[in-house]
Amino acid sequence: MNDELWDHETFTTRLREVGEGGYHHLHPFHLAMNDGKLTRESVSGWVANRFCYQQAIPVKDAAIISNCPLRDVRRLWLHRITDHDGTRNDEGGIEAWLRLGEACGLSVEELLDGAHVLPGVRFAVDAYVAFARTKPWQIAVASSLTELFAPDLMAKRLEAFEEHYSWINPEGLDYFRRRLTQAKRDSDEALQLTLVHCTTPELQREAVKALSFKCDVLWAILDAIHLKYSTQGNSTP
């Protein structure tokens, strides 16, 4: 085992290599989505199941904060919770996703009660939250670095939805638009924290493994959705 401490450039390269080979932008379901090959049922099913993950994001971030003894880090990470939960005077990402669901023909009630959530999706999401609760905060932060690759995927997804799924009300796509900038900011913050606070070879290796685990979580979510919903044929106009 290599006990050498990587410099920041090498460490960053190791992290990026994980995402370039394992991020879910390569999953057949996403490829079909971007090519406009999903049916209405497939799109709606993805939206309903992905909402399970969206709801878990602020819970995961709260777990990271609860494990972190550094006030400056907690302050920096805190906005992620309000980004998704919103505040009294501002809508968050969860509310925006509910509007996406409505634009796809799903009621708020059926999204909130998880009527369409597949067991495999729930299992993967629960595993991610448990990971954040039980791992050192630096490692949990590193697991979020799938955000390094999210803006490109989000841009392609937005373009695909506007081009191929015109039956979706454009106002429902606001979540994707806001994440184009939020994901870049979030990944920059998380990468800097990972580089600064993973100060031993062991922590660096665990950070790389954490990012690989997160890629597996996202891939497993799509595996379950892909098995349930057909990706054959063109989207229904």
pLDDT tens figures, 165-194: 999 999 999 999 988 888 889 999 999 999
Task: Write the pLDDT tens digit of every residue in 42-51.
Answer: 999 999 999 9
DSSP state of 136: -
The dihedral of CA 143, 144, 150, 154: what is its sign? Answer: positive
The confidence score (pLDDT) of residue 194 equals 98
The confidence score (pLDDT) of residue 230 equals 65
Report the percent of the chain where pLDDT is more than 90: 84
Query: Which neighbouring-strand residues pair with 90?
Result: 87
> DSSP 3-state assignment of 87?
strand
What's the CA angle centered on 93, arms 19 and 115, to 5 degrees? 90
> What CATH architecture is 24-228?
Up-down Bundle (1.20)
Q: How confident is the model at residue 234 (pLDDT cuts 50, 70, 90)?
A: very low
- In the block, residue with structure tokens 């999903």: 38
pLDDT above 60: residue 236: no
The confidence score (pLDDT) of residue 151 equals 79
The dihedral of CA 116, 80, 136, 152: what is its sign? Answer: positive
The confidence score (pLDDT) of residue 68 equals 98
Please report which residue ranges of 165-200 form alpha helices under DSSP H: 174-197
Compare 186 and 89 and report the one with higher pLDDT.
Answer: 186
- In the block, residue with structure tokens 């800097």: 192
pLDDT above 90: residue 212: yes
